[in-house]
Structure 1
Amino acid sequence: MTDSTEQAPLWPAPTAPGAVDATVTVPGSKSVTNRALVLAAHSSEPGWVRRPLRSRDTVLMADALRAMGVQIDETVNPDGGEAWRIIPTGLHGPARIDVGNAGTVMRFLPPVAALADGPIRFEGDARAYERPLHGVIDALRALGARVDDEGRGSLPLTVHGAGSLDGGAVQVDASSSSQFVSALLLSGPRFNQGLELRHTGRTLPSLPHIRMTVDMLRKAGAKVDTPEDGGTRDMWRVAPSALLGRDLTVEPDLSNAAPFLAAALVTGGRVTVPDWPRRTTQAGDALRGILTLMGGTYELSDRGLTFTGTGRIQGITADLHEVGELAPVIAAVAALADGESELSGIAHLRLHETDRLAALAKELNELGGDVTETEDGLRIRPRPLRGGIFHTYEDHRLATAAAVLGLVVDGLQVENVATTAKTMPEFPELWTAMLAGSRPTGRG
């Protein structure tokens, strides 16, 4: 690991004065917002995305689609909150796209660009050039697209759109990222022959995100067959079709709720997240079960999800391959538990915004922890932690995990907490407001 932002500002992580007792309204889902934008760009009629997440990743997605000719008008809902009206006007180049370090942008948009008329150039942050894109690049070539990446299998690259794409059958090894599958499925209905995609690699991570993609495609009018429908294992079929313009209200980002629910567990308090959906494809819904195993309880009502800590944190043995984005906060909680934890199924996190496994092990150990990397995860043996600098490597999930530790570890400083703007620009303010409602417990 290398420290990527040694001179970044340090944020003194607030220590909880007692048991947290708060209601936290979590902004909209990044995963839903960016999928909705892509599907709206492919639709045959205008649509609405209401209460979208406004963050670095979603603004990059919206700006990229605008660069390819999609009209996105920003307005306000009658009852408050943002509303984006998306008017598909034909995809075209030339265009230069900044993907930042957003996996959804760098992977979802090359298939869109293949349907544009003209060249689309993709560039991004330095870390983005290290993240794998070969699954999307190789698949697009097999489906008839011309992609120039100079053999790297990663950014920067240019997609030379021809206005349409043949489509058909393709094989993809998506073991390093489920986004390879989602990227192709989202544009599949617009391919001339549709899409028949087979995953050929090892275990496919983050399946809830693929289920989200399929669910949103179907609601937009696409016909999708999946392995869960009794079809062939590891194969998805999308029929060619026009997509409907939808009026979609974005759910709260349940994965971004992780640090707030963890705060209830760590402090023995209570946090309510309003509008938690009773049915959802978001991976973050798994927090209910995982944090309950770690010692809390929850109630899901019309008000939302209320999670309550019991004053005790239990170690956990958990396979997180479907919900890897939750691993940083779960690892932070595990470092404060009363017993050992083993988190597995998350080798793919080495290819995320940073090598999350190496980063978590290094940063927790430098605070006095005992964390060992395994082949596909982390083994965490709780030890008394001390204050110090927690480096975030420009990774938003590391920053929120550090904030959880700071609730009970005096003197912890988080490097570059502003990196949370990737998916939750309001995080520092939401965190401070949550703590304002803490109940004194006598803990110093």
Structure 2
Amino acid sequence: MTTLKITPVKLTGNVCVPSSKSMGHREIICAGLADGSSIVDNISMSADMEATLRCLDALGISFTRVPSAREGRTALAISGSGTVRAAKSCADCGESGSTLRFMIPLGALCGAPLTFKGHGKLVERPLKAYYDIFDRQGLHYETAAAGHLPLTLDGVLQSGAYQLPGNVSSQFISGLLFALPLLAGDSLVTITSPLESQSYVDLTLSCLAKYGIVIEHENYLKYHIRGGQKYRSGKNMVEGDWSQTAFWLVAGTLGGAVTCTGLSSGSLQGDRVVAEIINRMGGKVTAAVTGDHTATPAATKGVVIDAADCPDIIPVLAVLASVSTGTTEIINAGRLRIKECDRLAAMAAELNKLGADVTELPEGLLIKGKPEGLQGGTVDAWNDHRIAMSLAVASIVCREAVVINGSECVQKSYPEFWQDFTTLGGQCETMGTGESV
């Protein structure tokens, strides 16, 4: 475990945001399912991306790293046969929920035993939506106690009618949308409860279309999937990540001007709403025709923030709310409790250690802002990358240093975060490393 001491300073400058992790997963999966060779460029490698590559390898899909058109980024040449097989007995998903839920339906196409394992909180994250499908179809599977990982599949999904709840995770829907076009028969996926995170399903549909897969939907509640489709190989670039952009736009609002480059102005990512939310709070985020976005310092006020379609940006918006005038209520955020950690509990506990006034609600947070700023202190990252990065941004408005235990967890999604933080003027000092306890 790495302990990092951050001296409060304002951040300012330009940062090229990492490529979208959400789109990166989807791009390399679609490329791997194509018959032939594809190039996926502008990938920001992280522990989660490595997990998806390990699982592609377990499914008999090969890849090599090739020179990228973007400095500091990775390009992958991915070769597939248009189908999947259990090339290895185990697929290690690391701590990546997206990897696990995207890959399970593909593993259920192999017709041979394949075990999915994970680490950290991923072992306990819910998979009941898939287990219900397997039970209905008679597909054999084995799990650890309480449905936890490891999960071993031994059977083949059948085409036909599927039902899924929409209020657990859109990742289950996306996982089926990747796999079902490869079956011989047609399928219909019906969503049985209100769909949250619709934008993530849009990302999946747009990526599938790019690789030649056609799926029709009825208001995102019914998905008509023609069987016997083939993924088409190609060469594609991964767009910039709005969930990571959120940290820097909040930093620019709280400190000095920060410009984020590498973004797509036409992005379908739901987290792009962060610019609108900051401006609704009184911030000053502007967009250039290139897609670059700049946040300049502003006094902000409390608002109601609906987290249903943008859960990943809630931790850092909680930081902004903690020093905004008035009260902010974050609603429809219950799913943050089943991420890498309970992010509602984590942000309430850690921001309060810094001197904020945050109250947990069953489905959100109630935050009474302190525009005079926070005190500072020692906090814990909860082994969650988004908690660590949010607390780093909180240091900007603290009077004393912020000491973060477990700061290395940013490797999960944004390994270059601390480097970018210091490039923008941040002052970090490693105080010690040791075993996690």
TM-score (norm. length: structure 1):
0.90
Task: State how far apart, in whole Å, the 2-side matches of 1:214 and 1:151 are.
Answer: 34
Give the Å deviation of 1:424: 0.4
Q: Secondary structure at the match of 2:418?
A: helix
Q: Find the partner of 2:16 among 14, 18, 25.
A: 25
Task: State how far apart, in whole Å, the 2-side matches of 1:330 and 1:191 are.
Answer: 42
Task: State how far apart, in whole Å, the 2-side matches of 1:263 and 1:79 are.
Answer: 25
Flag the 1:144–1:168 CA change in 2: closer, same or farther, 3 A.
Answer: farther
- Do structure 1's residue 381 and structure 2's residue 353 form an aligned pair? no
- Do structure 1's residue 142 and structure 2's residue 136 form an aligned pair? yes
Q: How does 1:348-367 map to 2 (within 5 A)?
A: 348-367=335-354
Give the Å deviation of 1:161: 4.5
Q: Partner amino acid for 1:65?
A: L
Maintained 8 Å contact 1:265/1:295: no
Q: Secondary structure at the match of 2:147?
A: coil
Q: Find the partner of 1:91 among 60, 84, 96.
A: 84
361-370 vs 207-216, which moves further: 361-370
Maintained 8 Å contact 1:143/1:167: no
Maintained 8 Å contact 1:120/1:161: no
Q: Find the partner of 1:256 among 239, 244, 247.
A: 244
- Do structure 1's residue 406 and structure 2's residue 398 form an aligned pair? no
64-73 vs 74-83, which moves further: 74-83
Flag the 1:143–1:239 CA change in 2: closer, same or farther, 3 A.
Answer: farther
Give the Å deviation of 1:341: 0.4
- Provide the residue aligned with 1:9 in structure 2: 2
Q: Partner amino acid for 2:162?
A: V
Task: State how far apart, in whole Å, the 2-side matches of 1:242 and 1:144 are.
Answer: 26
Give the Å deviation of 1:10: 1.6
- Provide the residue aligned with 1:441 in structure 2: none
- Do structure 1's residue 324 and structure 2's residue 302 form an aligned pair? no
- Provide the residue aligned with 2:254 in structure 1: 266
362-371 vs 31-40, which moves further: 362-371
- Provide the residue aligned with 1:130 in structure 2: 124
Flag the 1:126–1:271 CA change in 2: closer, same or farther, 3 A.
Answer: closer
Flag the 1:138–1:23 CA change in 2: closer, same or farther, 3 A.
Answer: same
Q: Identity across aligned pairs (percent)? A: 28
- Do structure 1's residue 198 and structure 2's residue 190 form an aligned pair? yes
Q: Secondary structure at the match of 1:57?
A: helix
For residues 397-427 of structure 1, the C-alpha deviation after alignment (integer angstroms, 9 at most, x for no partner) is 1011101111121211112111111110000
Flag the 1:227–1:175 CA change in 2: closer, same or farther, 3 A.
Answer: same
Task: State how far apart, in whole Å, the 2-side matches of 1:239 and 1:286 are.
Answer: 33
Task: State how far apart, in whole Å, the 1-side matches of 2:7 and 2:180 are.
Answer: 47
- Provide the residue aligned with 2:43 in structure 1: 52
Q: Partner amino acid for 2:159?
A: G
Task: State how far apart, in whole Å, the 2-side matches of 1:38 and 1:295 are.
Answer: 40
Task: State how far apart, in whole Å, the 2-side matches of 1:198 and 1:154 are.
Answer: 26
Task: State how far apart, in whole Å, the 2-side matches of 1:124 and 1:336 are.
Answer: 37
Give the Å deviation of 1:298: 2.7
Q: Partner amino acid for 2:404?
A: V
Q: Secondary structure at the match of 2:101?
A: helix
- Provide the residue aligned with 2:115 in structure 1: 121
Flag the 1:97–1:141 CA change in 2: closer, same or farther, 3 A.
Answer: same
Task: State how far apart, in whole Å, the 1-side matches of 2:165 and 2:291 are.
Answer: 38
Give the Å deviation of 1:78: 5.2
> Over aligned residues, Cα RMSD in angstroms?
1.9
- Provide the residue aligned with 1:168 in structure 2: 160
Q: Partner amino acid for 1:10?
A: T
Task: State how far apart, in whole Å, the 2-side matches of 1:140 and 1:108 are.
Answer: 15
- Provide the residue aligned with 1:424 in structure 2: 414
For residues 356-410 of structure 1, the C-alpha deviation after alignment (integer angstroms, 9 at most, x for no partner) is 1111111122222221112211000124522212211111110111011111212
Task: State how far apart, in whole Å, the 1-side matches of 2:346 and 2:426 are.
Answer: 30
Task: State how far apart, in whole Å, the 2-side matches of 1:194 and 1:32 are.
Answer: 26
Task: State how far apart, in whole Å, the 1-side matches of 2:233 and 2:137 are.
Answer: 26
TM-score (norm. length: structure 2):
0.91
- Do structure 1's residue 40 and structure 2's residue 31 form an aligned pair? yes
Task: State how far apart, in whole Å, the 1-side matches of 2:175 and 2:207 are.
Answer: 13
- Provide the residue aligned with 2:328 in structure 1: 341
Q: Partner amino acid for 2:171?
A: Q
Task: State how far apart, in whole Å, the 2-side matches of 1:257 and 1:79 are.
Answer: 18
Q: Secondary structure at the match of 1:298?
A: strand
For residues 258-308 of structure 1, the C-alpha deviation after alignment (integer angstroms, 9 at most, x for no partner) is 1111111011x2211113211111122111101111222233224432323
Task: State how far apart, in whole Å, the 2-side matches of 1:125 and 1:308 are.
Answer: 36
Maintained 8 Å contact 2:250/2:295: no
Give the Å deviation of 1:97: 1.6
- Do structure 1's residue 102 and structure 2's residue 96 form an aligned pair? yes
Give the Å deviation of 1:327: 0.3
Q: Secondary structure at the match of 1:353?
A: coil
- Provide the residue aligned with 2:234 in structure 1: 246
Task: State how far apart, in whole Å, the 2-side matches of 1:27 and 1:193 are.
Answer: 39
Give the Å deviation of 1:309: 2.7
- Provide the residue aligned with 1:390 in structure 2: 379
Maintained 8 Å contact 1:387/1:411: yes
- Do structure 1's residue 209 and structure 2's residue 200 form an aligned pair? yes
Task: State how far apart, in whole Å, the 2-side matches of 1:385 and 1:310 are.
Answer: 17
Maintained 8 Å contact 2:257/2:297: no
Q: How does 1:220-235 map to 2 (within 5 A)?
A: 220-228=211-219, 234-235=221-222
Structure 1 residue runs of 5 or longer lacking an equivalent are 1-7, 438-444
- Provide the residue aligned with 1:299 in structure 2: 286
Q: How does 1:300-315 map to 2 (within 5 A)?
A: 300-315=287-302
Task: State how far apart, in whole Å, the 2-side matches of 1:332 and 1:351 are.
Answer: 20
Maintained 8 Å contact 2:92/2:118: yes
100-109 vs 297-306, which moves further: 297-306
- Do structure 1's residue 177 and structure 2's residue 169 form an aligned pair? yes
Task: State how far apart, in whole Å, the 2-side matches of 1:38 and 1:125 are.
Answer: 21
